[in-house]
Structure 1
Amino acid sequence: MQRLNSEVFNEGVLDKLAKTSGAIKRVRKITGSQLADLLMFDAGESLNGMSMQLTLRHGLSISKQALHQKFNKDMVSFMKQIFETLIAVELPDQEIQGLDITIKDATRFALPDCMVEELPGLAGSGMKAGAAVQFEFGLKSGKASIGLTAARVNDQSESRRDQQEVRSGELYLRDLGYAHIGYMNNIDKQSAFFVNKLNPQTLVYTQCNGFYELLDLDLIRGITDMQVYIGKEKLPVRLIIEPVDEVVKASRIERVNKYNKKKGLTTSDRFKQRAGFNFIISNLDKDVYETLLLQKLYHLRWQVELVFKAWKSLMKLHVMGTGCVHRIWCKLYGKLIWVMLGWKITMSVGKVGQISLLKMYGMIASTREALRQQVWKINDNWIELVSRVPITKLLKEQRKGRLKIEEIILSI
C-alpha cells in the first residue's frame, strides 16, 4: 500500500498527470488528486451529487454545469494515465518453483448507446455498445496485465496480438476462443506450454504407418491420453479425451440445434458424436505430467471467472449509468483503477489458491470509504480495520474429497 501511495496516489504525481493531460490547464481551486478522488469513488453519483461531494470532502464549490464541462478528452486522458501508472506498479519479484501458470480471459458488458462509435458491441446480440476487459495473471507470481477493447473484438484477434509476449518456460491456460492453431504453434516454438480445449471444428488425425487418418471416436473407451495431429497443419499435440454423460451430451446438441435452426443450418453427425466428449490438448510431456494433473490444470482456468464475478457482483465493474461519451470513458477508467487496486491489495495478502478472491474483494468493497481514506493518507483506519480480520476468514474453503487448488498449482 505504501508503494501505491508514493507512486500513484500521490498529490505531486496526480497534479503532474492532470497538467500533462490537460485536465488542469492552469492553477485552479481543484487539484489532480481531488479530481482522481472524485472519479474513482464518486463517479456513480449524479453531477449534482458529485458537486456536493466536492463540497463535503474538500470544501470546494463547483457547479454541476462546470463539472459537466470538465468531462472532455483531456479528463479521459488523465484517468487513462492514472490507470496506466497503477498497472506499471508491479508486485515484488518472487522465486517461483516450477512453471508459472498464466491465465487470460475476457469479460464483456454493455455500455450506454452513446458509446457505439467508440466501443461497438457484439454483432447480433442486441448490444449496441460494449466493452471487453482482457485480464491476464500469473497464478504463482500474482502479476497481472489488463486491457480494454470493444466488445466486438474477438478473443482470437487478441491472442494474435499476444504472440510477441509469450515467455519461455511458462504454461498458458486459455479459453476456447483464444486457442487457434497459430496460437498453439507459436507457444510451442517459444519453448512454452499450453493446456486448452480443442475447437469442435478442428480435425483430429492419428498416424499409422506414415499415413494420417481421422480419429475414430467409436474406438474410444473411457479417459484416453494419446498423441494426435490437428488441423490441416497436422500440429502434433497431446490429446486427452473425457467421455461425458448423456445429459451433458444432449444439452450440447440441443444448444447447437437451437442456434442452427435460427441460421437455417443443420447440426452435423460429426458434431453430435463429438458432443459426447471433452477434448483437452497440450504440449506438456506425458512422461512428466500425468493425465489427471492435466485435467485438473485446465479447470484452474475457472479462477479467472471468479475474478470477473467479484468485479461485477462486488465492485460493480459493469454498472456505468448515464452521461456523455467522455463521462462514460472516465467512469470506465475509474472502475478499472478500482478493480486493479483491489487485485494488487489481494495479491499482497496471499496468492490465488490460498486467498478467496470473493471474500477478499467483498472485504474491500464493504470497507470502501475507509480504503479511500487510506489511499489518500487521510488516516490509517483501513489498515487497522483489516488487521482485525483473521487470515483464516479470507482463505479458500476446502471441499471434502477435492485436491486443493494450491496443491494443483504447486505440482507443476
Structure 2
Amino acid sequence: MDFHTTQRNKRKGILGEVHGLGKKILKHLCTEVIERLAVKSGFCKRRSKLDALSFLKLVLFDPLSTEQPSLEQHCISLEEDRGKRVCKQAVNRRFNDRAVVFIQTLFEHYLQNQFLSKKLSSGFSDRFSSIRLMDSTEFKLPKDLAADFPGFKGAGTESCTQIQFEYDILSGKIIDLSLGDARIADSAYAQPLLVNVQRKDLIIRDLGYSKIDSFKEVESRGAYYISRLNPNITLYERRGKDLVPLSYKTILQRLKGSTKKYLEMPVYLGGDANYEVRLTANRLTPEAVERRLRKKIYRKNKKPETYSYLKEMNLFITNVPKKMLSANEIYGLYRVRWQIELIFKTWKSVLKIDQVRKMKADRFRCYLLGRLLWVVLNWEICSVFNAYLNQSESILVSFYKCFTIIKQRVRSLEYILLHRKAKLKEWLLTLFDIISRFGIKEHRRGRAAVINLLALNGK
C-alpha cells in the first residue's frame, strides 16, 4: 500500500470524529453564542466598532500571531482583518471588568461543553474508570500587578499567578482548569474539588496535594489514589497488638537488607494513627540519588536527618489493594504524572503563557483567559487525534508538537472561524494528515514510554 493510499484510509477513519468535533466547535464558538454571552456579561450594551467578535479576536488570536501585542498592533490587526479603524485609547477602554467577565464566561461555557472522543484503550480500563492527574503551575508577573495578583516576599516574586489543572489521561476530559492564588496551598485548593470524584476513579497527585483528609474523602467515594508520601506525616506500623512509630531510617535499612525491588507493608498515618494505607518503597540507584541532589529536591531544612534517608528512596501510599495493582504498576502509573509537567512546558514554550509585559490587570486577565480558551480548543483537537491514532496504530500524539503545528496555522483557523465556517472540517482533516506524520510522540532514551506505562499497546 503506497503512502497516498494510507493517508486516504486514515482520513476515512477519522472522518466521523472530525465531523463531531467541528460541529461542536462551531456550535459553541458561533457568533450567536459569543454575542449572547457578551450581552449577558454586560460587555455589549450598545453598538460599537469593537464588538464582541472583534474583541474575541484580540484576546484569542492576536497574542498567538504576535507575541505580547501592543494596543497599536491590535488596532492594525483590526483594520487589516476586520476592516475596522479604532484608536488605541478605545481598545484600551474595552479591556475592563466587563470584558473579563465576558471572556471568562465564554471560556467556562466552552469548557463545560467539551467534545469527548473515544477513550484510550488502556490495560487499566477494567480496573479504573478514569486516571486523573492534577498539578499546578505558577509564574511571575510584573510587580505593577501585585495589587491584583499578590505574590511572595523576595526580589522578583512580588506578583505571581497560578493555574490549576486536572484531567483524565484516558478520556482526555479536562476536569478542572482555573486561575488560582499563588499563595494558597494546592491541598487547600483541591479539597473542594473532591466532590466530583466518582467510584473507581484513580487520583494521582503530587506532594503538594497530600493530605490525610483528602485520602479519606477519596476512599469514602469508592475511588482510589496514589500519592508520594509527605515527609511531614508521621508513620506507624503494627507490632503485635501495638502501633509503634516507623522511621524512614528503618524503612531504608529494610530495603538495603532485602533482595526484593520493592518493600510493601501496611502503615498507619497521622498523630492518632487511625488511618491505614498501603506503603510501597523502592531504593534509588546512586545515579538517581545524584540527580535528586543536583535538582536540589532535598534542601537543608528543619529535619536534615530525615531527608538524608528520603533522598535514597521513593515512598508511595495508596488504598489500591495489592491484588488489584502491583508495586511495579504503582511506580509506573505515578511516573505517568510527569505528563502534566510536559503540558505546562507546552503552555509556556509554545503559547508563551508566562511571558507578560507591563499592562493593566483587566487586560492581563483577558489575555490569560483567552490563552486558556485556546488551550481547551487545542486540547480537544489533540485528544481526538490521539485516541484515534492510539486505537488504529498504537501510537500517541505529542501534545507539544500538536500545539506547535496548530499555532503555525492560527491565522487560517482564525479566518475560518470568523469568515468561512464551512471550511473547518476540511481544515481539521488537513491538520490530521500533518499531525499523523509530524506530530507523533517519540520515545526518549532512558525514559519509559507512556504507551507502555499505561499499557496502551495491549501489553
Q: Establish whether TM, by shorter chain, passes 0.5.
A: yes
Does residue 322 (structure 1) correspond to residue 358 (structure 2)? The answer is: yes
Aligned with 2:402 (options 354, 360, 374): 360
| Matches for 1:183-202 after TM superposition, within 5 Å | 183-202=214-233
Kindly indicate whether the alpha-carbon contact (under 8 Å) linking 2:24 and 2:115 is maintained by their aligned counterparts in 1: no
| Matches for 1:387-406 after TM superposition, within 5 Å | 387-389=432-434, 391-398=436-443, 404-406=449-451
Aligned with 2:412 (options 346, 354, 370): 370
Shift in Å, 1:341: 1.3
Which one-letter code corresponds to 1:306 in the other structure?
L
Match of 1:225 in 2: 264
Match of 1:298 in 2: 334
Question: Using the alignment, how far apart are the partners of 1:127 and 1:372 within structure 2?
Answer: 35
Shift in Å, 1:86: 1.4
Question: Using the alignment, how far apart are the partners of 2:444 and 2:354 within structure 1?
Answer: 31
Q: Could you list the per-position Cα deviations for residues 187-206 of structure 1 after superposition, in whole angstroms to 9, with x for gaps in the alignment?
A: 11111000110011222221
Aligned with 2:281 (options 241, 264, 273): 241
Kindly indicate whether the alpha-carbon contact (under 8 Å) linking 1:10 and 1:33 is maintained by their aligned counterparts in 2: no
Shift in Å, 1:258: 5.3
Q: Could you list the per-position Cα deviations for residues 282-327 of structure 1 after superposition, in whole angstroms to 9, with x for gaps in the alignment?
A: 1111122111111100101011011111111011111222211111
| Matches for 1:206-285 after TM superposition, within 5 Å | 206-215=237-246, 216-217=250-251, 218-221=253-256, 222-234=261-273, 235-246=275-286, 248-249=288-289, 255=296, 259-260=300-301, 267-285=303-321
Question: Using the alignment, how far apart are the partners of 1:73 and 1:15 within structure 2?
Answer: 17
Does residue 16 (structure 1) correspond to residue 36 (structure 2)? The answer is: yes
Q: How large is the RMSD of aligned CA atoms in angstroms?
A: 2.5
Does residue 79 (structure 1) correspond to residue 118 (structure 2)? The answer is: no
Aligned with 1:68 (options 79, 92, 97): 92
Question: Using the alignment, how far apart are the partners of 1:165 and 1:87 within structure 2?
Answer: 16
* Matched residue count: 407
Match of 1:263 in 2: none
Shift in Å, 1:402: 7.0
Kindly indicate whether the alpha-carbon contact (under 8 Å) linking 1:47 and 1:64 is maintained by their aligned counterparts in 2: yes
Which one-letter code corresponds to 1:391 in the other structure?
S
Shift in Å, 1:390: 5.8
Aligned partner of residue 454 in structure 2, secondary structure? helix
Shift in Å, 1:214: 2.3
Aligned partner of residue 162 in structure 2, secondary structure? strand
Match of 2:209 in 1: 178
Question: Using the alignment, how far apart are the partners of 1:256 and 1:310 within structure 2?
Answer: 23
User: Which has the higher mean CA deviation after the structures are superposed, 157-166 or 376-385?
Assistant: 376-385
Question: Using the alignment, how far apart are the partners of 1:258 and 1:283 within structure 2?
Answer: 30
**Unaligned 5+ runs, structure 1:** 261-265
Shift in Å, 1:41: 1.3
Question: Using the alignment, how far apart are the partners of 2:299 and 2:281 within structure 1?
Answer: 26
Shift in Å, 1:28: 2.2
Match of 1:147 in 2: 178
Match of 1:88 in 2: 112
User: Which has the higher mean CA deviation after the structures are superposed, 331-340 or 28-37?
Assistant: 28-37
Question: Using the alignment, how far apart are the partners of 2:136 and 2:291 within structure 1?
Answer: 25
Kindly indicate whether the alpha-carbon contact (under 8 Å) linking 2:267 and 2:278 is maintained by their aligned counterparts in 1: yes
Match of 2:16 in 1: none
Aligned partner of residue 316 in structure 2, secondary structure? strand
Match of 2:79 in 1: 55
Aligned partner of residue 109 in structure 2, secondary structure? helix
Kindly indicate whether the alpha-carbon contact (under 8 Å) linking 2:385 and 2:432 is maintained by their aligned counterparts in 1: no
Question: Using the alignment, how far apart are the partners of 2:445 and 2:86 within structure 1?
Answer: 57
Question: Using the alignment, how far apart are the partners of 1:402 and 1:153 within structure 2?
Answer: 33
Kindly indicate whether the alpha-carbon contact (under 8 Å) linking 2:267 and 2:276 is maintained by their aligned counterparts in 1: yes
| TM-score between the two structures when normalised by the length of structure 2 | 0.82
Does residue 135 (structure 1) correspond to residue 152 (structure 2)? The answer is: no
Kindly indicate whether the alpha-carbon contact (under 8 Å) linking 2:140 and 2:156 is maintained by their aligned counterparts in 1: no
C-alpha spacing 1:258/1:75, structure 2 compared with 1 (3 Å): same
Kindly indicate whether the alpha-carbon contact (under 8 Å) linking 2:298 and 2:307 is maintained by their aligned counterparts in 1: no
Match of 1:34 in 2: 54
User: Which has the higher mean CA deviation after the structures are superposed, 286-295 or 372-381?
Assistant: 372-381
Identity of aligned residues (%): 26
Which one-letter code corresponds to 1:232 in the other structure?
G
Question: Using the alignment, how far apart are the partners of 2:155 and 2:290 within structure 1?
Answer: 25
Q: Could you list the per-position Cα deviations for residues 152-171 of structure 1 after superposition, in whole angstroms to 9, with x for gaps in the alignment?
A: 12111112222322211100
Match of 2:147 in 1: 117
Which one-letter code corresponds to 1:26 in the other structure?
R
Question: Using the alignment, how far apart are the partners of 2:57 and 2:205 within structure 1?
Answer: 35
Shift in Å, 1:124: 4.5
Question: Using the alignment, how far apart are the partners of 1:74 and 1:231 within structure 2?
Answer: 47
Question: Using the alignment, how far apart are the partners of 1:275 and 1:400 within structure 2?
Answer: 24
Question: Using the alignment, how far apart are the partners of 2:365 and 2:293 within structure 1?
Answer: 40
Question: Using the alignment, how far apart are the partners of 2:412 and 2:267 within structure 1?
Answer: 56
Q: Could you list the per-position Cα deviations for residues 117-159 of structure 1 after superposition, in whole angstroms to 9, with x for gaps in the alignment?
A: 2221244474111111111110111100201112112111112
Which one-letter code corresponds to 2:53 in the other structure?
S
C-alpha spacing 1:170/1:386, structure 2 compared with 1 (3 Å): same
Aligned with 1:343 (options 379, 382, 388): 379
C-alpha spacing 1:4/1:257, structure 2 compared with 1 (3 Å): closer
Match of 2:199 in 1: 168
**Unaligned 5+ runs, structure 2:** 1-20
Question: Using the alignment, how far apart are the partners of 2:104 and 2:255 within structure 1?
Answer: 52
Which one-letter code corresponds to 1:350 in the other structure?
N
Shift in Å, 1:343: 0.8
User: Which has the higher mean CA deviation after the structures are superposed, 198-207 or 121-130?
Assistant: 121-130
Question: Using the alignment, how far apart are the partners of 1:383 and 1:373 within structure 2?
Answer: 14
Aligned partner of residue 149 in structure 2, secondary structure? coil
